[in-house]
Chain A
């Protein structure tokens, strides 16, 4: 069963405070977090979080498509590097 709508999304409160602080500072900062359980809310859009995966902090630049997902979804805890070519085939990287 899903979470009751009347409760609103779950977010650790200190993340909201830190996000406000970093946004107000306007500096190039990455917010290191351990709270993989927190839901991404619109206040986080445009900020970069380093989400801990038990080993390192994976950078997550939040965009509007991520709202409603949990931070943990973007920092896998198991290291499967896949069978892809080292060079990346014909794949391109698009600047966010």
Chain B
């Protein structure tokens, strides 16, 4: 899914689109987008941006009423239309759902989502019957990603605590 139409803009049939692309304006670069069923196509022509949303004209939609009727429509693109990721990069859509396996091949869990709070990408691995595991998407904690085999090698690190009340830190 590349975006969702959030409502109408103006009276000429333009729509507001919440884009999930890395660059919001890139949503119009993928040609005809499809709805969830894949039956209807949408050709977007960018008109501008406002408050984090993209304003676009949809081919065949000329009135505000017609634009309002599109509210909530999710916009999809075929996976094959996405460009090949650069070296060392993986589509987040491809990472989600992969099996997280240890070096010996034992499955630890599944990648549930990829988080980023400003300190790089973090894999959230859901483990059956246990708390989820958060690992930075970096060596040595995350090894090779084998998309064709649906797995990613991980090495959960040892945990050490740094607390101010440890005996070694206490005043003599």
Contacts and interface: CB of A to CB of B under 8 A. Distances in A.
Given A14-B166, A28-B140, A59-B135, A88 B93 contact: yes
Contacts of A94: 88-89, 121, 137
Interface size class of chain A, counting residues whose CB lies under 8 Å from the partner chain: 35 or more
B92 interface: yes
A95 B114 CA distance: 12
Contacts of A62: 119
Interface residues of B, number: 53
30 contacts: A14-B166, A22-B160, A28-B141, A28-B158, A29-B160, A30-B159, A30-B160, A56-B134, A59-B134, A59-B136, A60-B136, A61-B119, A75-B117, A76-B117, A86-B1, A86-B96, A87-B93, A89-B1, A89-B19, A89-B21, A90-B2, A90-B22, A92-B89, A92-B90, A93-B90, A94-B137, A95-B88, A95-B138, A96-B120, A96-B137
Interface of A: 12-15, 17-18, 22, 27-35, 48, 50, 56-63, 66, 73-76, 83-96
